[in-house]
């Protein structure tokens, strides 16, 4: 488990390159990248997304779940 946790910048880079890459909507992707850069983990605040797209926050996290977990917990990846 030590792998990436010893290098948090590798986690952020992986999240940017793999998890955020699967988000097709520009507003949601931008909010996700903001959350990653501000917190180091996938985060989207509702006020970062236009009101009509806020209902897509949950489905966006479902879409990025597997790549995000691989980035955070797969030390060989």
**CA distance linking residue 77 with residue 73, whole number of Å:** 9
pLDDT in tens, 4-43: 455 566 677 888 888 889 999 999 999 999 988 888 778 9
At residue 1, the pLDDT reads 41
CB-count exposure of residue 20 (10 Å: 0-12, 13-18, 19+): buried
**CA distance linking residue 53 with residue 74, whole number of Å:** 31
Task: Write down the residue that tokens 């590798």 correspond to.
Answer: 10
**Residue 39's CB: how many other CB atoms inside 10 A?**
11
User: Domain spans of the chain?
Assistant: 2-73
Q: Rounded to two decimals, what is the model's pTM?
A: 0.79
Q: 64 pLDDT exceeds 90?
A: yes
């Amino acid at each position: 488990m030590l792998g990436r946790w010893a290098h948090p910048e590798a986690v952020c880079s992986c999240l940017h390159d793999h998890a955020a890459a699967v988000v097709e909507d520009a507003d949601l992707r931008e909010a996700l990248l903001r959350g990653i850069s501000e917190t180091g983990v996938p985060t989207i605040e509702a006020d970062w997304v236009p009101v009509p797209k806020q209902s897509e926050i949950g489905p966006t996290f479902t879409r990025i779940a597997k790549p995000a977990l691989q980035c955070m917990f797969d030390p060989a990846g």
